[in-house]
Amino acid sequence: MKKILVFVCCIFLVNCKVPKVNPITALTPQEVANQILLPETKNILYTLAADSMAGRDTESGGYYKAADFVTQFLNKNGIQPFYPSYRDSLVTAGLLSFNIVGQLGEFNPEKKTVLIGAHLDHVGLRGKEGDTLYNGANDNATGSTAVLQIGKFLAQYDWEQNILIALFADEEKGLKGAQHLANRFQNEGLDITYMVNFEMIGKTLTSGPNQVYLTGYKRSNMANQMNSISPNFVQFLPQAKELNLFQRSDNYSFYKTLQIPAQTLSSFDFQNYDFYHKAEDEAEKMDVENMNQIIQTAAYTLAKMIDQKITIKLYSEDASVK
Ligand SMILES: [Zn+2]
């Protein structure tokens, strides 16, 4: 009995001295996929794109409903408020609005910070006849769903880098929410190492399933780093360069203001969806299985990037490279 007691005590002591290994190091893509489930992804998407959310605009009031849902989701899944009540408030065209910002685990200002974001707002109600409610399923209930699911997944682990997640307001009013947050981060001296933004991931990229493209593809080594973790996941889309999509979503404010790599993952390639900024942009039209796969792959990729403390390098600006 005494021997057993000594043995048990030894095990206890040994266990106490073993440094905590982040279990993400051993995780496989399949194990990540097993934790990000289609029914929940679908539920979040359908909730955010429901008629009751009135197009997630401040004028229609739908933005505040969507924000309530998001805040409850973060709270329920152990994601703490980074600002009081998660809110980074601003006023756009006379209406109060706010970005929602959450932190995973403790925030240590000495450490580098990774920011993962998507805009939550859409254009609300428009026109007088027919369907006047713009649900904004692809734009951008899908990207918001990705950020929530990835945040929930990552929040289960301890990280040696800070992770912030942000749902932006007033993107549709001229990238106002993200710009407000980028300015605030700059004023507060936050060391953001890179930012990954999600926009319109609800349709299957024409080049194949479980793929996205990266805006500003050649502005950093982000695509290469992601593809070295998840081969063939991140594509180059010529139209993204031609139309300068790099400057047309919330990533751009962080790039411009903080001079950091900040880029958008998307699967809307101009051939695979006819309802961009139309009332018919509805949840039923999304390829939810493919979307869930994209979220799983992105979660795995980001987890490995953060776990391995991969440095994303910004390449010098080349006017010909968008
Ligand atoms: Zn959008």
**What does the pLDDT read at residue 20?**
52
Torsion over CA: 44, 253, 200, 162 (sign): negative
pLDDT tens, residue by residue, 219-252: 999 999 999 999 999 999 999 999 999 999 999 9
Mean pLDDT, rounded, for 288-309: 98
| pTM for this prediction | 0.92
> How many angstroms separate the alpha carbon of residue 284 from the centre of ligand 1?
18
> How many angstroms separate the alpha carbon of residue 125 from the centre of ligand 1?
16
> How many angstroms separate the alpha carbon of residue 184 from the centre of ligand 1?
22
Q: b/e per residue, 73-86, with b = 16+ CB within 10 A?
A: bbeebebeebbeeb
> How many angstroms separate the alpha carbon of residue 71 from the centre of ligand 1?
20
Domains (range + CATH), the chain: 29-307 (3.40.630.10)
Express as a percent the part of the chain with pLDDT over 70: 91
∠ CA 188-176-267, nearest 5°, is 105
Q: Tokens 């209406």 sit at which residue? A: 95
**What does the pLDDT read at residue 294?**
98
Torsion over CA: 93, 97, 100, 106 (sign): positive
Label residue 128 by pLDDT band (50, 70, 90). confident
Please tell me the distance from the alpha carbon of residue 144 to that of residue 138, in angstroms, as a whole number.
Answer: 10
> How many angstroms separate the alpha carbon of residue 249 from the centre of ligand 1?
7
Express as a percent the part of the chain with pLDDT over 90: 88
Question: 173: exposed, middle or buried (C-beta count within 10 Å: 0-12, 13-18, 19+)?
Answer: middle
Q: b/e per residue, 287-313, with b = 16+ CB within 10 A?
A: bbebbbbbbbbbbbbbbbbbbeebebe
> How many angstroms separate the alpha carbon of residue 139 from the centre of ligand 1?
5
**What does the pLDDT read at residue 321?**
46
Q: Tokens 């329920």 sit at which residue? A: 76
Radius of gyration of the chain (CA): 20
Which regions of 26-185 does DSSP assign to beta strands (E)? 80-81, 87-92, 95-104, 113-119, 162-168
> How many angstroms separate the alpha carbon of residue 143 from the centre of ligand 1?
8
Label residue 319 by pLDDT band (50, 70, 90). very low
pLDDT tens, residue by residue, 136-173: 999 999 999 999 999 999 999 999 999 999 999 999 99
